Amino acid sequence: MKRSVALLSSAVLVVSLLTGCGGAAGKDSASKPADQTQPAQNGEQATQPDDVLDQFKKLTLPYTVEPKTALVEYKDGTLSAEEFETFLRVINFLNPMQGMMIESADQESLKMFAREYTATKILASRADAAMEKEAKELAEQTFESLKIQYMGLLGKDDAKFEKLMSNQGLDKETVVGQMELINKSMTVLRKGIDEPTLKKLYEGMDKESLTVASVRHILVSFEKHNNNQEETLQVANELVARLKKGEDFAKLATENTDDPGSKETGGLYADADVTQWVPEFKEAALKLPLNQISDPVKTDYGYHIMRVESRKEKTFDEMKKQLESQALEQAYDHFNKEELDKLITKYNIPETKPASK
């Protein structure tokens, strides 16, 4: 788990649900529609709501321990095995893919989960009345959003949703309570994040991190030409010549590009962060004069013919949400380094069961 549980708002977790459904169903979530109750196409058998319900199994814990066991002891409190199990079951409900990771976790991974959840408990205990109210309201709203997503998978059958929760040993109150706890911890961390803090972060960002560009391109891949670089370059140069004679870029890209990610948009990536691209492509996106056809740009994938159609730096207001997330992570890192390990006095993490073959 790359990011802390304390930093995973319930809203973020819910976004993960439909992606998780694809994994739980053993399907490719990138290529299948989220609503798998739609009519089948091309002779494929339709997935019925009952089948979807069967995909969401109760979490199988990879360890055995008495419910009252204190898995983590810290100043002014403990994390019991019972509390930890509830937390893990809710995470499985919010994000089935995360649940699959929990079932195969080793002892060290369980310790990480327990440490992060202990951090969430400690931070949440510092919330004042206003923070608690805000956290509860958000948790209630997010639960309703989560329910809508599940209902879309279950044929909008409320009884099936209730059965799904019951099968996992959960109810609304338990799920909302866990999301509220996470929200409270985040609200406490967010307390010290003000406008000057965010502006300081913004001013410290380099130009590349702020730049977005709309780039239209055609990829002539090495793979398609059996890794013959000379042949690949020759094809790319022929396309450059056709573009410079006035042929339509979008049409030519749709017909010739080897990049499936932009084929349907006529080769266009619109208003994209340049930092997401490979170095050579990024460099060209940053430096090419606007609306000029480039010479072939070589990357590990092949040769790209590029045209930068727009380029700008994002403003502070456009970056604000991203900056808030960054500041939140920094606040949590500070809590981790300066407080958490000093507050935790003992771990009693159970050994995990051998993975089934």
* Lowest model confidence (mean pLDDT) among 87-96, 226-235, 258-267: 87-96
The interaxial angle of helices 316-335 and 172-190, nearest 10 deg, is: 100
The interaxial angle of helices 316-335 and 195-203, nearest 10 deg, is: 100
pLDDT at 54: 79
How much is the pTM? 0.70
Judge contact between 303 and 233, C-beta under 8 A: yes
Q: What percent of the chain has pLDDT over 90?
A: 71
Tokens of 315: 């403003």
Q: What is the pLDDT of residues 84-131, one digit of tens each?
A: 999 999 999 988 888 888 999 999 999 999 999 999 999 999 999 999
Which are the contacts of 129, defined by CB distance < 8 A and separation ≥ 6? none
Distance of CA 355 to the CA centre of its chain: 27
Q: What percent of the chain has pLDDT over 70?
A: 85
pLDDT at 57: 85
Q: Give the pLDDT mean for 172-197.
A: 92
**How crowded is residue 36: how many other Cβ atoms within 10 Å of its Cβ?**
21
d(CA 243, CA 98): 47
Q: What is the pLDDT of residues 161-174, one digit of tens each?
A: 999 999 999 999 99
Tokens of 249: 């870029």
- Domains within the chain, CATH numbers bracketed: 5-191+323-347 (no CATH), 207-313 (3.10.50.40)
Q: Which helix (H) or strand (E) holds 74?
A: strand 70-74
Hey, is 241 helix, strand or coil? Answer: helix
């983590």: which residue's tokens?
Answer: 72
Radius of gyration of the chain (CA): 25
